[in-house]
Structure 1
Amino acid sequence: MRIARAEQIARNIAQQVERGHLVPGARLGSVRQAASEFGVSKNTMVEAYDRLVAQGYLEPRRGSGFYVARPRPKTSAAIRPAHVSEAIDLVSLLREQLNQHYAVRVGDGRPPAAWMEGSELGRHLRLSIRGGERIEHGYGAPQGYGPLREMIAGRLIERSVHVTAEQILLTFGANHALDLIVRHFIEPGDAVLVDSPGYYPLFGKLRLARANVIGVRRTADGPDPEDLEAKAAQHRPRLFFTQTLAHNPTGTSMTPAGIHRLLQQAERLGMILVEDDPFADLLPPITPRLAALDQLERVIYVGTFSKTLSASLRTGYIAAAPALIRSLTDVKMLTVVNSSGYVERLIHDLMADGHYRHHLNRLRERVARASAQAMSDLTGIGLQDFSAPAGGYYLWCPLPEGVDDVALARRASEEGIFLAPSSIFSLDREAHRPALRINVAYAEDPAFLDFMRQTCAEGAVA
């Protein structure tokens, strides 16, 4: 009952904002005042305000209260998706089965949604229905659930990346997003640049595509500009895949100056930059990133909910120029047909109800506490030379002289300890300094600390 009442209140205030009765910048009553005005408890009023913040109608200001947010630009209504009006090839036939422009559907490849009404699937999923919207058991729109794309576009605007929902393509997580980009751009033999150390599953995808994968040395401040310049001049790559913020595996973030320099290099060298940003929701929206400076002209932006919500939900997205999104949507249709509308609705509802925002607040606090504890514990057992994590889960920990990272990982496994050696993340395994990627969530485990303390005391491990 409290949730239903909170939704009614949120809808009432949202209508006042949309009709201009509450103007941008206007301060709303405190939770206590508003609860008295609406005749509800303070918890119900907090729930209503959280929904309005999640939906972009209000913005909270610490110690001051809630204010009407600046209006966001209209998204889906402004740009109509292109479609082929006849089933003249396999892509247009797939597109019509997903978008459904025709009322008479003799050429469809599935039964009508009405045949699935009352199915056991529907009873068990118990998905919420908002505003009388009917949940169908078909493929759904090929770009993904529209309201979630609208919400993601709003979050990107908060990060100063000015996009519309038509510039968002939903995927099965960031890995699927990267796979679509590789399939679209890469031909066998093409040169592609990546961070080294970097995201090792990406190395595998590029090798499957038979690309010439070239590592650019990653420093604490980002890709080494001189190494990038030399390798780009030699190999003429079309793409550079990089993680600007809370880098996996080193945990570090690029400086604003480094971001600006990288964009200048990409422009001069004719490269497309693919910015993978898995920890964006844990970082302040104003954090500088490639996509914000470039506005998706030369940058393709990849986001995900897997690192902040659940890896099992497998939902991510690509933000890019409209023409590229249309092409990537075709690749998505040809490879997996569509992503999961059920999961996308679930994530949308969590965001719209304010639950995701609460979860992120708790998660940020946990990450901050665990990062501080990990640095203290590791320093206490004699490890050093590591950089402080920049808001993600990882800390890059160089090993003492004479310790081989792979040999150390094998020895740890014999004691039931799983380690991630730096060799896995580096393309040039001869040149890299042995290190470990440490997940701060597990770093305080006594068995791990005892094992590493013994390693530091013994010295060489080979």
Structure 2
Amino acid sequence: MRATNPSGKSGETLAENVAARLVAEIAAGNRSPGSKLPSIRNAARDYGVSKNTIVEAYDRLAASGHVIPKARSGFTVSKTAQTNGMRPKHVSEAVDIASLLNAQLEESFEIRVGDGRPPPAWTEESEIRRHLGFLGRGPSPGADGYGSAWGFPPLRQQIARRLGNQHIQATEKEILLTFGANHALDLVVRAFLAPGDVVLVDEPGYYPLFAKLKLAQVRVIGVRRLPDGPDVEDFTAKVSAERPKLFFTQSIGHNPTGGSISLSVAHSILTAAAKHNVTIVEDDPFADLSLVAPNRLATLDQLNHVISIGTFSKTLSASLRSGHIAGRADKIAALAELKMLTTVNSSGHVERLLHRLTSEGHYDRHLKRLAQRIEAAATRVHAALGRNGYSIFAGNGGGYYLYLLLPEGIDDIELARLGAKESIFIAPGSVFCIDKKSPMAAGIRINVSRAEDERFFDFLLRKLL
């Protein structure tokens, strides 16, 4: 008889749950290659299961290649040197940077406070399922062909109108549809950067971008992030000394700190960038939520020196991989050519569904509900953390995140490892930093939509105070 796990996924055995948790720990870098797994006795005690369950879990890990059984020595985490030895150094480093993404995709954690997205119930119930059926109701012209590399024209027109609501003037020819924001960033990196080029990024900032830049073999320099946006003095000094080609930043609802740029900082950043002919790539996943004053660089600049990236993945289902790039027509044309070479086109069916949702009012109704949920959750989480005297880096900046600064002597990676033992997924601050010794590395990203479980607050009380 299978021993099922009452707190895990439906139908999952205890052994499967333990194995999945260990895989997540390995993916997050909490168990390094060559390190020994706990003895069967100790693991049974740590995970609260029988020795037979641990034996089965370890056997599963051995079968999947995650660990290697050694006679009289137990089990050790598989060394990746053989695989990595076949990769160029920059590829291995890029994969290492993205380790948190592997952990985030792992579904075994019960409390996902470090996740980048809200719970499925916050987005999946946004009328998507009700409207999926329309795709099968009769053929749409061109729906079964490749379609244009630029993307479904009516959706591009709708996005242009929505950008207009943000006071960004863009035509259909200045908008390219993509498979989400990450695909958009990848296209920008490939199109406009060459090995050896210099770029500036927010620090802390969006770690999947760091991995893409490492893969492109460019030199990445962090710009200190403050609660009201990039540090103007730091940016001005580095843009003058380093002569970067691009500056990647997130102005609103910054990931991971949660802060948003002030109007004065936005003007100063644009002035310095224009002076040194630096193009700014502004990632704007929360553009449609309008939770804070929209001091967007793209609005102030009108896409002259700014490329704007948007996505539906943070506000609708992550499985609907669709986003867009807005910028000068010549830049968008170059990106469209690259997209055609690499992916031919994007998903016509998904784009038609999104056009229907955005043009018929369904999306706006969903956004209103989502914004109310975010504001309410942020208020409660801020209050709960404040009652215990924790230091929060920035106020609610219009997205899902806030950044908890750790007390002196607390290691963020160790805290994440301890959290994993209790099925709590924690996003350590050092993952978001270019300089692992940065003061901002001593923190954790908290997703307010997933942080109201009392077990998480109890964990913080036990580990931080």
Letter in 1 for 2:323: G
Distance 1:422 1:150 in 2: 39
**Deviation of the 1:359 alpha carbon:** 0.5
- The aligned counterpart of 2:372 is 365
Q: Is the 8 A contact 1:383 1:456 kept in 2?
A: no
Structure 1 unaligned blocks of 5 or more: 1-123, 458-462
CA RMSD of aligned residues (A): 1.8
1:172–1:339 contact (8 Å) kept in structure 2? yes
Asked if the contact 2:291/2:397 (under 8 Å) is kept, the reply is no
| Offset at residue 133 of structure 1 (A) | 5.1
Q: Which amino acid aligns with 2:259?
A: T
| Stretch deviating more after TM superposition (188-197 or 397-406) | 397-406
C-alpha distance in structure 2 between counterparts of 1:221 and 1:272, whole Å: 21
Alignment partners' CA distance in 2, 1:149 and 1:130: 23
Q: Would you say the 8 A contact 2:135–2:349 is kept in 1? A: no
* Equivalences for residues 12-411 of structure 1 within 5 A: 126-128=133-135, 134=141, 136-283=143-290, 287-411=294-418
SS at 2:439's partner residue? coil
Write the distance in 1 (CA, Å) between the matches of 2:293 and 2:426.
34
1:216 corresponds to which letter in structure 2? V
Kindly provide the amino acid, as one letter, of the partner of residue 150 in structure 2. Q
User: Structure 2: how far apart are the matches of 1:227 and 1:125?
Assistant: 48
- Aligned partner of 1:56 in structure 2 is none
Return the alpha-carbon distance in structure 2 between the equivalents of residues 383 and 337 of structure 1: 49
Q: Which residue of 2 aligns with 1:440?
A: 448
Distance 1:134 1:408 in 2: 54
Deviation at 1:395, TM superposition (A): 0.4
Q: Which residue in the other structure is 1:4 paired with?
A: none
CA shift digits 1:360-410 (9 cap, x unpaired): 010000000100011011112331243222110000110112111111111
Q: Normalising to structure 2: TM-score of the pair?
A: 0.69
Instruction: State the percentage of identical aligned residues.
Output: 52
In structure 2, distance between residues paired with 1:131 and 1:421: 48
CA positional deviation for 1:135: 5.2
Counterparts of 2:317 and 2:391 in 1: how far apart (Å)? 32
Q: Structure 2 counterpart of 1:441, which letter?
A: S
- 1:166 counterpart letter in structure 2: K
8 Å contact kept, 1:397–1:438: yes
- The TM-score with structure 1 as length reference comes to 0.70
Q: What residue in structure 2 maps to residue 451 of structure 1?
A: 459
Q: After superposing the two structures, state which structure 1 stretch, 147-156 or 441-450, moved more.
A: 441-450
Q: Which blocks of at least 5 consecutive residues in structure 2 are unaligned?
A: 1-130
Greater C-alpha radius of gyration: 1
CA contact (8 A) 1:144 1:338 kept: yes
Residues 124-177 of structure 1: CA deviation (Å, up to 9, x unaligned): 974359999535301111100010000000000111101111111000000000
For the Cα contact (< 8 Å) 1:381–1:456, is it kept in 2?
no
Deviations 1:88-128 (A, max 9, x none): xxxxxxxxxxxxxxxxxxxxxxxxxxxxxxxxxxxx97435
Distance, in Å, in 2 between the alignment partners of 1:127 and 1:330 is 31
- Counterparts of 2:132 and 2:413 in 1: how far apart (Å)? 44
Aligned length: 334
Structure 2 residue identity aligned to 1:143: W
